Amino acid sequence: MYWTLELASKLEDAPWPATKEELIDYAIRSGAPLEVIENLEEIEDEGDIIYESIEDVWPDYPSKDDFFFNEDEY
Separation between Cα atoms, residue 28 and residue 33, nearest integer Å: 8
Separation between Cα atoms, residue 71 and residue 52, nearest integer Å: 26
pLDDT at residue number 61: 80
Asked, for residue 72, whether it belongs to a domain, the answer is no
Q: Which pTM does this prediction carry?
A: 0.81
Helix (H, G, I), strand (E, B) or coil at 18: strand
User: What size, in residues, is the chain?
Assistant: 74
Asked, for residue 23, whether it belongs to a domain, the answer is yes
Total domains in the chain come to 1
Asked, for residue 67, whether it belongs to a domain, the answer is no
Domain ranges, residue 23 = 12-43
Separation between Cα atoms, residue 43 and residue 9, nearest integer Å: 17
What does each of the 74 residues of the chain score in pLDDT, given as a tens digit? 788 889 998 998 999 999 999 999 999 999 999 999 999 999 987 777 999 999 999 888 876 555 555 666 65
pLDDT at residue number 69: 56
Asked, for residue 59, whether it belongs to a domain, the answer is no
Asked, for residue 34, whether it belongs to a domain, the answer is yes
| Per-residue b or e along 29-61, where b marks 16 or more CB atoms closer than 10 Å to that residue's CB | eeebeebbbebbeeeeeeeeeebeebeebbeeb
pLDDT at residue number 68: 56
Asked, for residue 20, whether it belongs to a domain, the answer is yes
Asked, for residue 74, whether it belongs to a domain, the answer is no
Asked, for residue 36, whether it belongs to a domain, the answer is yes
